[in-house]
Structure 1
């Protein structure tokens, strides 16, 4: 299913012209994950969970006016209050924002620029580290309406929701 993806980072303007996401960053791809190393079972019990490890969120976008500020934030170690990824179904009749990821206490940890021949041209991969995350997904019913959101919240400093 085709989607539109937007990244809003406090204090950093992108070039999106979308009515609902003006001046945000138009995102081509994003990736993120977490893992939990399982501890070996002990003599009297089963395996145990270790401490969750969160990956930095990484996104790719075309080089735009946000690029110099992303580089400056990375180079200076600037703390950013909040960043947000919004994913929307690209249906022209009923575009629905079904995934929202809010990040708090964010730092830009990497900026990697690249170029290709062809329509994409100059691209940039950016990685963000964060202290808190709120991941909300809304399923779409057959009539097109969205269901109530399912949430995952985590405070990485406290290692708990």
Structure 2
């Protein structure tokens, strides 16, 4: 069965399609993720997170009665040698904080405060032409507090 479109319907579809293509090209602002580990500076230049470690991605879960490890990917920076040492010797770190910031408004809306943190493992990798090498690590805290700040769509 064929459906015929009238001239005005066809024109409306063209306008919507054109607007969608034009608007679809605008990327949404990406949030920023920062990690602060006691006595281990990173290279962030963000005013509110100066010298924190800039995180590319993270994942974390919890299960009954225990904190699951937090897996983190970041670019190689000045914290890399210290993280390798912490992983090699399994020396607990007093505290660490992971913060997620709304890039558009600069609002920190998710924070994971951890104590008694162990860097379980650490690895890094890179390739020719891929840009800066990446670090991969997992952290296990003995305790953590997760806080979330509700976002306002117009002010963050």
TM-score bracket for this pair, using the shorter chain length: 0.7 to 0.9
Q: Match of 1:137? A: 148
State how far apart, in whole Å, the 1-side matches of 2:37 and 2:108 are.
18
State how far apart, in whole Å, the 1-side matches of 2:87 and 2:96 are.
14
Q: Match of 1:154? A: none
Q: Match of 2:40? A: 12
Higher fraction of helix: 2
TM-score (norm 2): 0.76
Find the structure with the greater CA-based Rg.
2
Q: How many residues align?
A: 128
Shift of residue 118, structure 1, vs aligned partner: 4.3
Please list the CA deviations of residues 135-157 of structure 1 after superposition, one character each: whole Å capped at 9, or x if unmatched.
Answer: 00111123425xxxxxxxxxxxx
Q: Match of 1:60? A: 73
Residue 41 of structure 2 contacts residue 53 of structure 2 at CA under 8 Å; is this kept in 1?
A: yes
Which runs of 5 or more structure 2 residues have no equivalent in the other structure? 1-27
Superposed counterparts of 1:5-154, under 5 Å: 5-35=33-63, 51-91=64-104, 94-118=105-129, 120-144=131-155
State how far apart, in whole Å, the 2-side matches of 1:3 and 1:116 are.
26
State how far apart, in whole Å, the 1-side matches of 2:98 and 2:132 are.
23
TM-score (norm 1): 0.74
Structural RMSD (CA): 1.6
Which runs of 5 or more structure 1 residues have no equivalent in the other structure? 36-50, 146-161
